[in-house]
A and B are shown apart, each in its own frame.
Chain A
Amino acid sequence: QSVLTQPPSVSGAPGQRVTISCTGSNSNIGAGYNVHWYQQFPGTAPKLLIYDNNNRPSGVPDRFSGSKSGTSASLVITGLQGEDEADYYCQSYDTGLTASDYVFGTGTKVTVL
């Protein structure tokens, strides 16, 4: 049911840079709505990581960054660390007739090699 598509998994060695894509459509990201990113560890609630495309809440390390272009968005982790191993979800607003108001990405599992 997710209308935002993410790669199921990405991996990288410590210190490397990894990028997670989030592909939407003209009824959500492409319509100009902001993209937010969440980090989730197993058995815990999601945590806001990036808001309004490229802003970090207080306390989020600056190795996390976000961007948006057209109908897609990206989350970049530079200087990957072991503690970054988690699931990541993008989220936006949608005005499509068949979608819910708020849509999440399919989720990406980040593995630190």
Chain B
Amino acid sequence: EVQLVESGGGLIQPGGSLRLSCSASGFSVSDKYMSWVRQAPGKGLEWVSGTYTGGSTYYANSVRGRFTISRDNSKNTVDLQMNSLRADDTAVYYCARFATHRRSPFDIWGQGTMVTVSS
């Protein structure tokens, strides 16, 4: 079964760091474009970051310079390192797979992991 499972969320103080992990099964992340999408409580969806086959990485303006996406093909995981966290980073973070190419839809989503930034 094709599946994504996120982990690593939690409560963190402003200015702190957190690392999210997305574990894939049923396919190889090395063959796919992968992304992180977040959703603040009661709000809509916001694309955060993407990593493409070949190693390119892309970020939303709101997180560029603070977040880093990476993939570990041997573990079949995609991670999101989040530094200098702010209250407005509070959200459910979803790992999502691009169906085919970088402009294709997100066809597989994880269940999400909650990140709360608060003192």
Q: Report which A residues bind B (CB closer than 8 A).
A: 1-2, 33-34, 36, 38, 44-48, 51-52, 57, 89, 91, 93, 98, 100-107
Contacts and interface: CB of A to CB of B under 8 A. Distances in A.
B11 interface: no
Contacts, number: 61
Interface residues on B, range: 20 to 34
Contact of A36 (B44, B46, B47, B105): B105
A101 B58 contact: yes
A57 B107 contact: yes
Contacts of A107: 44-45
B105 A1 contact: no
B61 interface: yes
B112 A106 contact: no
Contact of B105 (A2, A44, A48, A103): A48
7 contacts: A36-B106, A45-B94, A48-B99, A48-B106, A101-B47, A101-B60, A104-B46
A101 B52 CA distance: 13
